[in-house]
Amino acid sequence: MSDETGREWWRSATIYQVYPRSFADSTGNGTGDLPGITNHLTDLHDLGIDAIWLSPFQTSPQKDAGYDVSNYCDVDPLFGTMHDFEVLLNRAHELGIRVLVDLVPNHSSDAHPLFQAALASTPGSPERAMYMFREGTGEHGELPPNNWESVFGGPAWTRVTNPDGTLGQWYLHLFDSSQPDFDWTNPRVHDFFLDVLRFWLDKGVDGFRVDVAHGLTKEADLPDFRRDAEYWTTPAELRPPCPFFGHPGVHPIYREWRALIDSYPGDRILCAEAFVEPLTKMAEWVRPDEMHQAFNFPFLVTRWEGEKVRGVINASLDAFGAVGAPSTWVLSNHDQIRHATRLAIDPRSYTGDRITGIGPKTEPKPDPVEGLRRARAASAMMLALPGCAYIYNGEELGLPEAMDIPDEFRQDPTFARTNGKAYGRDGCRVPIPWAADAPAFGFNDSGKTWLPQPAEYRDFARDAQTGVSGSTLELYKRALRIRREFRLGLGHLSWIEGMGENVLAFANGDVSVVANYSDKPVALPAGEIILDTTANGEPDASQGTLAPSTTVWMRRS
**Residues 226-245 as x/- pattern, contact with ligand GLC by CB under 6 A:** --------------------
Q: What is the C-alpha radius of gyration for the chain, rounded to an integer number of angstroms?
A: 23
**Residues 148-177 as x/- pattern, contact with ligand GLC by CB under 6 A:** ---------------------------x--
> In this structure, which long-range contacts are made by residues 362-365, counting pairs with CB atoms below 8 Å and at least 24 apart in sequence?
362/403, 362/423, 365/403
Least distance from C-beta 199 to ligand GLC, angstroms?
A: 20
Q: Which of residues 40-99 bind ligand GLC (CB under 6 A)?
A: 64, 67
Least distance from C-beta 437 to ligand GLC, angstroms?
A: 32
Q: Among residues 206 and 211, whose Cβ is nearest to ligand GLC?
A: 211
Closest CA to 453 of 405, 519, 520: 405
Least distance from C-beta 516 to ligand GLC, angstroms?
A: 32
Out of 54, 104, 276, 381, the only residue in the binding site for ligand GLC (CB under 6 A) is 104
Distances (CA, A) of 284 to 71, 329, 340, 541: 30, 17, 31, 41
Q: Among residues 175 and 486, whose Cβ is nearest to ligand GLC?
A: 175
Are 169 and 123 spatial neighbours (Cβ–Cβ below 8 Å)?
Answer: yes
* Strand partners for 506: 495, 513
Q: Among residues 104 and 440, whose Cβ is nearest to ligand GLC?
A: 104
Q: Which residues contact 65 (CB under 8 A, 6 or more apart)?
A: 21, 55, 56, 334, 411, 412, 429
Binding status of residue 110 toward ligand GLC by CB under 6 A? no
**Amino acid identity at 540:** D
Binding status of residue 211 toward ligand GLC by CB under 6 A? yes
Q: Distance between CA 467 and CA 479 in Å, rounded?
A: 15
Catalytic residue from among 273, 401, 412, 532: 273
- The kind and range of the H/E element at 99 are strand 98-103
Are 374 and 549 spatial neighbours (Cβ–Cβ below 8 Å)?
Answer: yes
Q: Among residues 67 and 486, whose Cβ is nearest to ligand GLC?
A: 67
Least distance from C-beta 8 to ligand GLC, angstroms?
A: 26
Least distance from C-beta 55 to ligand GLC, angstroms?
A: 8
**N-terminal to C-terminal alpha carbon distance within the chain:** 24
Least distance from C-beta 212 to ligand GLC, angstroms?
A: 5
Q: Among residues 64 and 396, whose Cβ is nearest to ligand GLC?
A: 64
Binding status of residue 390 toward ligand GLC by CB under 6 A? no
Out of 110, 181, 183, 335, the only residue in the binding site for ligand GLC (CB under 6 A) is 335
Residue 273 a catalytic site member: yes
* Strand partners for 208: 101, 270
Three-state DSSP state, 33 = coil
Overall residue count recorded for the chain in this entry: 557
Binding status of residue 1 toward ligand GLC by CB under 6 A? no
Q: Which of residues 256-275 bind ligand GLC (CB under 6 A)?
A: 273
Residue 487 CB neighbours (<10 A): 17
Distances (CA, A) of 48 to 15, 16, 381: 10, 10, 17
Are 254 and 291 spatial neighbours (Cβ–Cβ below 8 Å)?
Answer: yes
Least distance from C-beta 296 to ligand GLC, angstroms?
A: 15
Catalytic residue from among 211, 395, 401, 412: 211
Q: What angle do CA 265, 104, 303 make, to 5 degrees?
A: 100
Binding status of residue 212 toward ligand GLC by CB under 6 A? yes
**Residues 271-310 as x/- pattern, contact with ligand GLC by CB under 6 A:** --x-------------------------------------
Give the residue at shortest CB distance from ligand GLC.
67
Q: Distance between CA 345 and CA 429 in Å, rounded?
A: 18
Q: Which of residues 408-467 bind ligand GLC (CB under 6 A)?
A: none
Active site residues: 211, 273
> What residues line the site for ligand GLC (CB under 6 A)?
64, 67, 104, 175, 211-212, 273, 334-335
